[in-house]
């Protein structure tokens, strides 16, 4: 029986012998690639393919660190890849920094690292540089991650909310609110069979863009969920968006969690769902492409852009009764550390 690895100590972040052992034992075997292997001050990368570079960065502080369907490592890589993918970029390289709390269980750290490695393989990206810091016990909460991603937008590709126009349809790649519901169920000790939707969106985004349809913009509805993303898109585009409550796909288990906690699933985070705004009359092209790609089998139209101007609410939910309910930005909600 192999001995249990020692917990994380302050020395593991001091840059000396303990740091070197942690890197060689925990990080390098899981994340190895030619650019990371040198362990120098910066990863020297090959020339990028033609196009415009796209750069994104994000912090991840999810609680709990491990949840049904994922963990902080898997989430952090997927989240960064997805921000590149919905911008129309081909994700290529990532950096990954961890803030560890003194006393962290090494087994938990190794699970997080394995999750990041799995996400990088699934998304076909390389994690080429990183860093580790350790803060004293009580000054952090187990482990936080910061990831930065670099990709390339191919020549001739133009996505953005400025392209959204009346008549556009709004498409979701699958059920909504699952990630937020899973994390909240874990925190409150609720018995649920839900699993997080967290996944890399690279393949789904590529399929939609290759469908032949005129995709105007894409988003991944993370913090604040679908309602927040649609509201912000409507404001930036100077348009009015109407969602159809009867068409919005929400699992019964997610609805159950929301009813118990008094939440609206439209405001819960998704970490593996794609929202697309597609030119009028071209929805079927995108739906067929998404449904033929793993993870997009449940793709459906959930709404439309109904006009220019915002004399009325920029985002409205057409309820099952036919009434229009304005959906505003949240002024506050007790959903910290969801991603």
Quick one: pLDDT at residue 137?
Answer: 95
Quick one: pLDDT at residue 334?
Answer: 62
Q: Quick one: three-class SS letters along 316-335?
A: EEECCCCCEEECCCCCCCCC
- Do 10-153 and 161-326 agree at the fold level? no
Q: Is the pLDDT of residue 114 over 80?
A: yes
Looking at 154-163, 214-223, 226-235, 326-335, which range is the least confident one?
326-335
CA distances from 60 to 113, 228, 324, 330 (A): 14, 19, 35, 21
Averaged over 186-201, what is the pLDDT?
93
Query: What architecture does CATH give domain 10-153?
Result: 2-Layer Sandwich (3.30)
| Mean pLDDT (the chain, rounded) | 94
Q: Which residues contact 256 (CB under 8 A, 6 or more apart)?
A: 192
Give the Cα separation of 37 and 58 in Å (integer): 24
Quick one: pLDDT at residue 192?
Answer: 84
Where residue 295 falls (left for φ over 0; alpha for ψ -120 to 50; beta otherwise) is left
CA distances from 80 to 114, 132, 251 (A): 17, 18, 26
Quick one: pLDDT at residue 245?
Answer: 96
Averaged over 179-205, what is the pLDDT?
94
CB atoms closer than 10 angstroms to residue 322: 8
Quick one: pLDDT at residue 308?
Answer: 79
Averaged over 155-163, what is the pLDDT?
96
Quick one: pLDDT at residue 3?
Answer: 55
User: What distance lies between CA 339 and its chain's CA centroid?
Assistant: 8
pLDDT digits (tens, 9 = 90+) for 231-267: 999 999 999 999 999 999 999 999 999 999 999 999 9
Q: Edge-to-edge strands of the sheet including 215-219?
A: 215-219, 275-278, 169-172, 300-308, 239-244, 315-318, 324-326
pLDDT digits (tens, 9 = 90+) for 22-64: 999 999 999 999 999 999 999 999 999 999 999 999 999 999 9
Half-sphere exposure of 213 (CA within 13 A, CB side): 28
Averaged over 170-186, what is the pLDDT?
96
Give the Cα separation of 11 and 331 in Å (integer): 42
Break the chain into its structural domains and give their ranges. 10-153, 161-326
Quick one: pLDDT at residue 4?
Answer: 59
Averaged over 110-138, what is the pLDDT?
97
User: Domain 161-326 falls in which CATH fold?
Assistant: Phosphoribosyl-aminoimidazole Synthetase; Chain A, domain 2 (3.90.650)
Averaged over 200-227, what is the pLDDT?
97
pLDDT digits (tens, 9 = 90+) for 311-337: 678 999 999 988 889 999 987 766 788
Give the Cα separation of 152 and 123 in Å (integer): 15
pLDDT band at 1 (very low <50, low <70, confident <90, very high): very low
Structure tokens at 75: 């989430």
Averaged over 54-79, what is the pLDDT?
97
Structure tokens at 336: 């910290």
């Amino acid at each position: 029986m192999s001995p249990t690895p020692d917990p994380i100590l302050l020395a593991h972040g001091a840059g000396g012998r303990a740091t070197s052992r942690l890197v060689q034992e925990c990080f390098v075997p899981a994340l190895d690639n030619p650019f990371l292997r040198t362990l120098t001050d910066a990863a020297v990368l090959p020339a990028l393919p033609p196009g415009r570079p796209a750069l994104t960065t994000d912090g991840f502080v999810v609680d709990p660190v491990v949840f049904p369907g994922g963990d902080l490592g898997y989430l952090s890589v997927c989240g960064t890849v997805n921000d590149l993918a919905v911008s129309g970029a081909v994700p290529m390289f990532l950096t990954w920094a961890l803030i560890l709390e003194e006393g962290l269980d090494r087994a938990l750290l190794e699970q997080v690292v394995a999750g990041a490695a799995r996400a990088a393989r699934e998304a076909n990206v390389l994690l080429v540089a990183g860093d580790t810091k350790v803060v004293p016990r009580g000054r952090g909460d187990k482990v936080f991650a910061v990831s930065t991603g670099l990709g390339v937008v191919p020549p001739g590709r133009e996505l953005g909310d400025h392209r959204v126009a009346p008549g556009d349809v709004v498409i979701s790649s699958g059920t909504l609110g699952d990630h937020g519901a899973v994390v909240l169920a874990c925190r409150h000790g609720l018995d649920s069979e839900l699993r997080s939707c967290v996944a890399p969106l690279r393949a789904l985004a590529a399929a939609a863009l290759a469908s032949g349809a005129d995709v105007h913009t894409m988003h991944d509805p993370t913090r604040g969920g679908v309602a927040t993303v649609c509201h912000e898109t409507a404001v930036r585009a100077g348009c009015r968006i109407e969602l159809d409550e009867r068409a919005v796909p929400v699992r019964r288990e997610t609805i159950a969690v929301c009813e118990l906690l008094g939440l609206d699933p439209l405001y819960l985070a998704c970490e593996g769902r794609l929202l697309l705004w597609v030119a009028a009359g071209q929805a079927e092209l995108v739906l067929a492409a998404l449904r033929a790609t793993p993870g997009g089998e449940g793709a459906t139209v959930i709404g439309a852009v109904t006009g220019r101007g915002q004399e009325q609410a920029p985002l409205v939910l057409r309820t099952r009764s036919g009434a229009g309910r304005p959906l505003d930005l949240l002024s506050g909600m007790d959903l910290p550390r969801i991603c």
